[in-house]
Amino acid sequence: MRVFLRIWLLLPSRLRLSAYNKLLKLGCRLYGHTTSADVHRLPFGLYLRHGSGLDNSQNEFNALKLVRQHTSVPVPEPLDLIGLPPHPNDPFKKQRAYLLTTRLPGTPLAYCEDMLSDRDFEHVAAQMKDHLAQLRTIPKTVNPDMAICNVSGERCIDPRLRDWNPVGPFPDEAAFSQLMRFPDDPARRGHKIVFSHGDLNPRNILVNRFARPDGSRGWRVTGIVDWETAGFYPEYWDYTKAMFEGFRWTKRYNRLVKTIFSALGDYSKELQIERQSWAMGDGI
């Protein structure tokens, strides 16, 4: 497989792109469409993300490599990234990309939450605590002059920050906080800067059934996907971002998020100031 991939990546991008488009059509026939218009299941255990901007896809590609290098967190393997010219009808002339990854087993937690028992939720919480703790150990080796940045040390692109418009990078948290309301509030100061996923919602956490030693069946985390907003952010960022669209998710899931992050720190003041900001239209 590795030898084939190395040889495959030597081929011109137009040939690889043609093959991916054929696999995309076949995948739609075999598996139907996913819940995301930009992500499609392909044959041979593959997934293809297309339609996202090149900067976002490059960031996800680099994030997946970094997580796989430094942790045991289950994430897809990034296989190929092809940049495309802007669509002729795109007034913003945004470069597009095809991102090819491996497929992980499991179902998004958002679609099977009701099937999980309280015991299963406790197991998921324990796994997620471990995964997030591992992510926070990933060293930052890029752009040492800028503390807050994307995976490559470059601009941050996040719907919470200027509605996907690139911003930064930032030399410190104080500069980063100037983008948001209440920038001088104590809740926006004094945090460690850690590697963050940036979009931990139940659609991006995959779970699958397994057999316990006692013979009973349970659920466990089998993957975390969608890393396009990953980067180095204040330690509260993953928590408040997970709650950013909390109104979309069940109370049970929101309680799960609070349980997971309780092991990492008390970010209640940060969430409070963020909620005040969201209510005033910040991040919308």
The CATH number covering residue 10 comes to 3.30.200
Give the range of the structural domain holding residue 202, as residue numbers without chain letter.
107-279
Domain boundary among 102, 131, 152: 102
Same domain, residue pair 8 and 98: yes
Same domain, residue pair 129 and 193: yes
Residues 6+ apart with CB under 8 A from 91: none
CATH code at position 263? 3.90.1200.10
Domain boundary among 42, 75, 102: 102
Cα–Cα nearest to 151, from 53, 59, 48: 59
pLDDT tens, the chain, 284 aa long: 788 889 999 999 999 999 999 999 999 999 887 767 689 999 999 999 987 889 999 999 999 999 999 999 999 999 999 998 777 676 666 788 999 999 999 999 999 999 999 999 999 999 999 999 999 999 999 999 999 999 999 999 999 998 889 999 999 999 999 999 999 999 999 999 999 999 999 999 999 999 988 888 999 999 999 999 999 999 999 999 999 887 889 999 999 999 999 999 999 999 999 999 998 887 65
Question: What is the count of structural domains for the chain?
Answer: 2
Give the angle 220-224-256 at the CA atoms, nearest 5°: 60
**Burial class (CB within 10 angstroms; exposed 0-12, middle 13-18, buried 19+) of 192:** exposed
Tell me if 144 is assigned to some domain.
yes
Tell me if 159 is assigned to some domain.
yes
pTM above 0.85, yes or no: yes
Cα–Cα nearest to 98, from 29, 42, 52, 36: 52
